[in-house]
A and B are shown apart, each in its own frame.
Chain A
């Protein structure tokens, strides 16, 4: 079977080996079990396409690593399988501003 024969179910993309987050390529519901490298990740919450999931535990103040580079710091302790976004990390440079 080639890759074209398998229906595309979406995956988690870890962009660099050092990353502690992976990117969802489709919307995944809470509880979904997704293969990643040699293991699997169980999602704690819904994660929508393009959003990040922790693939290692991240302590408060620890750097979030994506593309092999720091993209911010945790402001809460984060468990494997949790959604990683503005509610639990912050920029080390500039604030993210919301709608309105």
Chain B
């Protein structure tokens, strides 16, 4: 598998130019710069908020220096809070071409769009100079989430992802699962898999934190479609979701923006610390994807029962469809048909192997279904986290 070598030693499986708006007021201009060039590997990302937020700042820094990103254009209105100079400096230090356009200084909408497109076109040409390197499985970071779950998710796609995760971890990759708010009910079992008792306590506490947080909100992490599809309670949904983590020991816990220090299985804690300040932990699936990508995930295994069609900017999604009826309806949007297990046309092991093959093909450059359909969703809102405690990443 041939990838792109970055100055920090990490290797990318894609080589995108990202155009990043730093407040909603700069969104239209950034979109007009990026959209005509999207088939050439230019993607639109951004943070809509005007108020400052350390979490959003950290996530944008990680995304703009992600191994799949080759160059960055920042689009600022001019008066927003975002630390655009700090972000530009971080990207510059990473050895990537970076440019900042400030709409209020550049002369408004048309001038900024013109200057932006010109810069992006020359950045695309410069991407050819990025050194190539062999990517091995030990270089890969693979994340997983479920979206649009129904009762089949926990029967087919999630256990199949668990098998793929076992394989990846055994071969030295870093594998990250998350959604601590969907592990409510699984906390004891999860803690028992930790490589140290101290880490086990952190994992347990992360799930308890999620339960307390959602009790204050008055909502579990549960959508109407989950119930229509046969899931009745949060803990039932959690048991199905938990199957994605496979059976290997948990090597550590991360928070959004922390990079796994070596291969192994990691839990990403996505529930904010402290009092409920900004609302739901992740307002939709793509916010979770962005957090995995901020931890360095090259790609995401996305299990769906009801049929989510999203992809993601920066890191491709591999869509694993749990429900055979959904697969028949939305075949073009899916990469793996796990629902066939319910119809005796495949075993968990066979489909698990198919997922691994898809991971390797995607790492080698083959577009996934959602990539081919042009999906590049990106969702980033306000959160706050304390730093990781020392027990979270045992040596």
Contacts and interface: CB of A to CB of B under 8 A. Distances in A.
B211 A86 contact: no
Interface in A19-78: 23, 25, 48-52, 66-67, 69-72
B305 A97 contact: no
B239 A8 contact: no
Interface residues of A, number: 32
Given A50-B150, A52-B230, A94 B344 contact: no
Contacts of A49: 152, 230, 323, 325
Interface of A: 3-4, 8, 13, 15, 23, 25, 48-52, 66-67, 69-72, 84-86, 89-99
Given A89-B233, A93-B211, A3 B152 contact: no
B232 A85 contact: yes
- Max chain B C-beta neighbours (<10 A), residue from A15, A48, A52, A91: A91
Given A91-B233, A95-B218, A97-B220, A69 B185 contact: yes
- Chief secondary structure at chain B's binding surface: loop
Q: Which 9 A-B pairs have the closest CB atoms?
A: A50-B230, A50-B151, A94-B220, A91-B233, A71-B236, A99-B224, A72-B233, A51-B230, A94-B234
A98 B227 contact: yes
B229 interface: yes
Contact of A96 (B185, B234, B240, B343): B234
Interface of B: 150-152, 154-155, 184-185, 211, 214-215, 218-220, 222, 224, 227, 229-236, 239-240, 305, 323, 325, 342-344
B325 to A, nearest CB: 7
- Max chain B C-beta neighbours (<10 A), residue from A15, A92, A93: A93
A72 B325 contact: no
Contacts of A84: 232
Nearest to A67: B239
Nearest to B325: A49
A84 B236 CA distance: 12
A75 B117 CA distance: 61
Given A23-B151, A94-B234, A96-B227, 9 more contacts: A4-B344, A23-B230, A48-B230, A49-B152, A71-B233, A85-B230, A95-B219, A97-B219, A97-B220
Contacts of B342: 25
Contacts of A13: 155
A72 B227 CA distance: 14
Given A50-B152, A50-B323, A66-B239, A93 B233 contact: yes
A8 B343 contact: yes
B356 to A, nearest CB: 24
B28 to A, nearest CB: 32
A98 B224 contact: yes
Given A71-B239, A97-B219, A97-B220, A85 B214 contact: no
Contacts of A15: 155
A86 B227 contact: yes
8 contacts: A3-B344, A49-B323, A50-B231, A71-B185, A94-B184, A94-B222, A97-B222, A98-B227
Contacts of B150: 50
B236 A72 contact: yes
- Max chain A C-beta neighbours (<10 A), residue from B185, B233, B240: B233
B327 to A, nearest CB: 13
Contacts of A72: 232-233, 235-236
- Max chain A C-beta neighbours (<10 A), residue from B222, B229, B230, B305: B230
A98 B222 CA distance: 9
A8 B325 CA distance: 14
A1 B255 CA distance: 53
Contacts of A90: 233
